[in-house]
Amino acid sequence: DQQVKQNSPSLSVQEGRISILNCDYTNSMFDYFLWYKKYPAEGPTFLISISSIKDKNEDGRFTVFLNKSAKHLSLHIVPSQPGDSAVYFCAAQPGNTPLVFGKGTRLSVIA
């Protein structure tokens, strides 16, 4: 049973436009949500996080939005750059237990 779902395996966006990556979750006990970026044959790198008590967190070109009632979060990248092309993983944490990851969305930013 998948607790963290990324329903779009891939997304293509033109350079300079907005990229929106979506993530849904089922466990209402999740209290932290994180986004990771991963290049092929490398480990994921932390991008941005949000606590369940907030609905928005911003860091430069990256903004994460959380809608608790819908159990949905999204990552916005504005403006998208070719270097943003990677696989993005949504992850969630219920208390002091290991992160639960989604299956990832491959973002391609086209110049």
Partner 1 sequence: DGGITQSPKYLFRKEGQNVTLSCEQNLNHDAMYWYRQDPGQGLRLIYYSQIVNDFQKGDIAEGYSVSREKKESFPLTVTSAQKNPTAFYLCASLAGGPNYGYTFGSGTRLTVV
Cβ proximity to partner 1, 65 vs 101, nearer residue: 101
Is the peptide bond prior to 79 cis by the omega test (within 30 degrees of 0)? Answer: yes
Q: What string marks each residue from 26 to 65 as x (binds partner 1 by CB under 8 A) or -?
A: -----xx-x-x----xxxxxx--x-x--------------
User: What residues line the site for partner 1 (CB under 8 A)?
Assistant: 6, 9, 31-32, 34, 36, 41-46, 49, 51, 89, 91, 93, 98-104
